[in-house]
Amino acid sequence: MRIKSVLFLAVLLLLFIAIFRSNFFTIKKIDIKSERINCTDEKNLTEKSNLFGQNFFLVDEKRVEQALKADFICIKKINFSKNLPDKIKLDIIGRIPEAALYSIKNWEASASSLIENLATPSANSTDEPSLIDDEGIIFSKGDSLVLPKIYFFGDKPINNYLAKALSILKSLKDQGLNNSHIFIFNNFFITSGNPKVVFDLSEDIDIQIASLQLIVQKAKIGSSKLEFIDLRFDKPVVKYAPKK
């Protein structure tokens, strides 16, 4: 009985080795479907995936996805599907832009003057803005009239602010305070809408967002029109429009 078991296991092992050494399960076909991919093409994606010649059962999907994302930053997600014995399909989804980022150069102004008198400084900005997705990833160049525009002043890396800035943008949109132009200057996030809202990006954004929600709710209950909200202080500064 023991000999039969050993022989059976040996046969299985030999069969397993034969299958994996043969070309029967070697990947020969790669189908790529891409959506919103503007930083490369299907030919490059196929080549960079390095899937040709790999064993069908030994493909490391996570590694392939990480490698492609590292090479092509516009990729958001990759879905894999396999068809025996030698075909793999990649459904590659690109990033969706949430805002257009302008880097402002040669700007000489104080934060207070910027808050008091906002103007679109397009003449001093980069020629073409960068597109940012919901993860704060700068992934492409381009512009769109429907995207909020973020004007960034200063020498600090913009990546230090993007996650917080996008959280604020989402909160403003959720509360019906849509702003098409945003200014980031000396840790301050300033909107140009009505009402004008000022955040301090160096402080806890969640607390400031919660304060904004309370202020907006109170204004709606009292049928008051907000003109200015400054959330940089423990007690936010709020200015209401005169009632007619």
Sequence spans of domains, the chain: 22-94, 99-240
Choice among 131-135, 157-161, 181-185 with the minimum mean pLDDT: 157-161
Q: Under CATH, which architecture does the 99-240 domain have?
A: 3-Layer(aba) Sandwich (3.40)
Pick the CATH number of 22-94 from 3.30.70.2860, 3.40.50.300, 3.40.605.10, 3.10.20.310: 3.10.20.310
Residues 6+ apart with CB under 8 A from 80: 59, 61, 64, 88, 89, 90, 91
Q: What is the pLDDT of residues 11-48, one digit of tens each?
A: 676 666 666 666 788 999 999 999 999 899 999 999 99
Q: How confident is the model at residue 146 (pLDDT cuts 50, 70, 90)?
A: confident
pLDDT value of residue 70: 94
Q: Is the pLDDT of residue 82 over 80?
A: yes
Closest CA to 201 of 182, 215, 217: 182
Residues 6+ apart with CB under 8 A from 135: 95
pTM over 0.75: yes
DSSP secondary structure letter of residue 242: P
pLDDT value of residue 21: 65
Structure tokens at 103: 């880097």
Mean pLDDT of 116-137: 69
